[in-house]
Amino acid sequence: MKNLIFIVFMAVQLPSLQAQTWKAASNKIKSPWAEKVDPNNPLPEYPRPQMVREQWQNLNGLWDYSIVEKGSNIPHQFDGKILVPFAVESSLSGVQKTVGDQKELWYHRTFMLPSNWKNKNVLLHFGAVDWKTDVWVNDIKVGSHQGGYSPFGFDITPFLLKDKTQKIVVKVWDPSDLGYQPRGKQVNNPRGIWYTPVTGIWQTVWLEPVESAYISQLKSIPNIDGGNISVQVKTEGTQSSDITEVKVLDNGNVISSGKAAVGQDVLVAIPQAKLWSPESPFLYDLEISILRNGLIKDKIKSYVGMRKISTKIDANGIHRIQLNNKNMFQLGPLDQGWWPDGLYTAPTDEALLYDIKKTKDFGYNMIRKHVKVEPARWYTHCDREGILVWQDMPSGDKDPKWVTRNYFNDKELVRSKTSEENFMREWKEIMDLTYSNPSVVVWVPFNEAWGQFKTPEVVEWTKNYDPSRLVNPASGGNHYDVGDMIDMHNYPDPKMGIFDSKRVNVLGEYGGIGLALDQHLWENNRNWGYVQYKTSEEATKAYVDLADKLKKLIPFGYSAAVYTQTTDVEIEVNGLMTYDRKVVKLLEEKIRKANQEIIESLK
């Protein structure tokens, strides 16, 4: 009896004993949410809000890790514990070590399957891993993936052991800025506007049981002019006689439904639809089922927002952006999405939501997600809060000549075939991730000639793949006569630069007002901003002055603008908030008033 009691005690105490092996690995500044991270259950929220199933198992937590020479065998022993899903270079990983292009990062953990998953197929999901990933289950390699920003997974059913402990091993290689792959602001030598590398698992890892026939991908496309939605459903293991059914619900009540043979789009009428907008971000619930002989084989829950993004020439001959067939000036911050404690990964879901809510508090109606992609939950938060998103493709490879004030007529970057193919594969996966999010309204494949190549071809492909959104070909240049808009950058003051009479004109970056606050700096002895001020009052006045200049340019053609930036990032101190999010640096009410005046000026 004494032995039995001891075993039960150890089973109960095990999580807390594991927690004692983890602590944040740095004394640098941290966000308020860092201390809320539970090493036994980090980021416990369901990771894929647009395809929800009732059962799932979170694999976040303490894993074994090892950093070894590139090309080595699977380690038999590991260096220690790492807190997944925080990148190995981050403080919250508990490791904070650099990997580099000559080494590889290995992960290991075990798990047990719930007893009620018997006779189910089991899918292993990774939210995102940077960059090249190989996965083994019970010593069998089950698959690989290249891409640092998009979800992927494998059906691991054939490789599971019956009623036994299961083992996962993951290998990651990431050359950072020494490779051709999309990487955004990551560099091996952080400086200025370039930040710490991110290697390895940085989004939730999870398991999901499904039937032998199941839904693998979902795209919902609203059509407010036609009063309907088109739902594209991809499936696995289905038969030609199976049927896809889509139900649309408002406050729990089914208001419309539609059916189609599997593989066919489902058209569902939504007459007199409630429209989604920043002022009223209404979302309909969806239920999507696979039916076989009248029985449900698989069922997921989702949602859709009825909105339309388009352009129209106004009475003065200027192309304007419209939301739901009405002119709307889009104004928002450049949002890098970096954290002092988690780097690419917000410490908690509350933290992930915080930046979006503050953006709304500042009076903005848009966010430009800058050369980074967020977890699926971030886009759902934007859907629910009501904020428009311009989604950048993370930049990579090398930089060609950059032209900002006229149209580019030189030779673009010549990428290798491998680099080109990888770019297009990753861009498609990123678009797929956010295809059904009503908040996402603009695709931005290139920024400031960073890795820019074959612009007309890339823009044409992007427009064809998703004709429901606008395409900003190259934010800040190089400029081509393609896509839906021309995008100028100018610091600090808003300026037109050049005007395009055939497309929408936008100011993709301006501002960069710097204010360094002691006790909230990444590096105490060095910080950087486009212009520097000493007090919140001075910086706020500078912001309002820039807002007045921007407002005067709207009648002459500007239809959107992006202010740099949401928060300080590493040694950049030009954020509206400090990097640790503990101080709103500019006077919020004055910023909100100035922003609202700009947005209202085009209505």
Chunk the chain into consecutive blocks of 10 residues (it has 603) and report each block's average pLDDT, rounded to whole numbers.
33 45 90 96 98 97 98 95 98 97 98 95 98 98 98 98 96 97 96 96 98 97 98 97 98 97 97 96 98 96 98 96 98 98 98 98 98 98 98 94 92 96 98 98 97 97 98 96 97 95 97 96 86 95 98 97 98 97 98 98 87
pLDDT in tens, 263-298: 999 999 998 999 999 999 999 999 999 999 999 999
Q: Which pLDDT score, from 0 to 100, does residue 27 have?
A: 83
Give the N- to C-terminal CA distance of the chain in Å, as an integer: 77
- DSSP 8-state secondary structure symbol assigned to residue 438: T
Residue located via tokens 């104004």 = 331
Domain 57-210 class?
A: mainly beta
* pTM across the whole model: 0.95
Where are the strands (E) in 20-165, listed by range?
57-58, 61-69, 80-84, 103-111, 121-126, 129-130, 132-137, 140-146, 152-155
- Residue 142 corresponds to which amino acid? V
CATH (one of 3.40.50.10490, 3.30.830.10, 2.60.40.10, 3.40.50.2300) for 225-305:
2.60.40.10
- Within 505-572, residue ranges assigned H as helices are 536-553
Distance CA 227, CA 268 (A): 9
Token pair, residue 367, equals 């966010």
Instruction: Write down how long the chain is.
Output: 603
Segments making up each domain of the chain, as ranges: 57-210, 225-305, 309-600
CATH (one of 3.40.50.150, 3.20.20.80, 3.20.20.390, 1.20.5.510) for 309-600:
3.20.20.80
Q: Which pLDDT score, from 0 to 100, does residue 318 have?
A: 97
CA 8 to chain centre: 42
Residue 131, SS3 per DSSP: coil
Element (H, E) at 369: strand 366-369
Distance CA 422, CA 417 (A): 8
Check if 225-305 and 309-600 are the same fold.
no
At residue 522, φ and ψ (nearest 5 deg) are: -65, -45
Q: Which pLDDT score, from 0 to 100, does residue 15 have?
A: 45
Q: Which pLDDT score, from 0 to 100, does residue 18 have?
A: 52
Number of H helices, E strands in the chain: 7, 34
CA 266 to chain centre: 27
